[in-house]
Structure 1
Amino acid sequence: MYNFENLQTSSENKRYYIPMEVTAETIKDFCINPADVVWTRIGNSKVRVIMIQATKEQYYEYMRPLWKEDKRLQRQESMASLDKLYEETEYETVDTADLEADVMKKVMIDELHKALDELEEIDRTIMEMYSNDHSESEIGQVIGMSQKGVNKRKHRVLLKLKTRLKDFE
């Protein structure tokens, strides 16, 4: 039998922290204990911070704009359509022929085609719609999945393709 009272108590006692970036000068000037300084990621860069305890409301008020900006940047990353991906990776002729590189490129393209063909139908739908500039929310509505679920599946597929084609880098 599960005790739900303990579950509520533990979530009520949860502590929230906001990262405050520090430099060597601020550590020295404000007599911050160097042991309290940790490395964390804010946005796309790793920085030294101290963690300031905050209320749940303060934490969400501080973090929501960061999460929103991060999501906006993710959505701006252009994803090539599968058709475009096929077109751009097809065999190309060049002035300086490098037969070995051309053969390796052809083998890589064939492997990419196989990998894309082996995807589950839902993953192909996600990738096709995303490559045609549909938002994750729109994709989720079409396939009956949450936006977060679409995001996770999309990243899993991209990782699978990258891993499969790693030998061709």
Structure 2
Amino acid sequence: MDKFENLQTSSENKQHYIPMEVTPETIKDFGINPADVVWMRIGNKPKKVIMIPVTEEQYYEYMRPLWREDKRQQRQEPMASLDKMYEENEYEAADTSGLEADVMKQIMIDELYAALDGLEEIDRTIMEMYSTNHSEAEIGQAVGMSQRGVGKRKQRILLKLRTCLQDYK
């Protein structure tokens, strides 16, 4: 069947067609040519059908109730409302507060790395060892300072970093 026959009427001879649902059993039992079987939406589901030639009177008798039901449904459907759709389908707006916090955290981390890169070599070493839970005594041995000197220097570095990152609180 070509696609123009699915329009229910052929302009050449005013022949009308109506769909008849078929199953594999009916195709086999009635010897229907599988090439004549097409998919058509009946209601809201696609079905396998064959198009049956009918008289104009039969066509209108078959189609009028379908047209009537379509029109009735169109009249009953209220105007679409986003609020009503949200209520009926329980849609929720995405919670972006976590996303915003994550983005701000990433920006703050990037700024912290930039501030750490701006430190002197010895200060970077102290902060690196401090971040990996080394004691002030261990850090002092690694950089050639006393434990007390490392503590004071660490406090100055932390104050400098807090100052650099104060805009991100």
Q: Normalising by structure 2, what TM-score? A: 0.41
Greater length-normalized contact order (CA 8 Å, ≥ 6 residues apart): 1
Q: Normalising by structure 1, what TM-score? A: 0.41
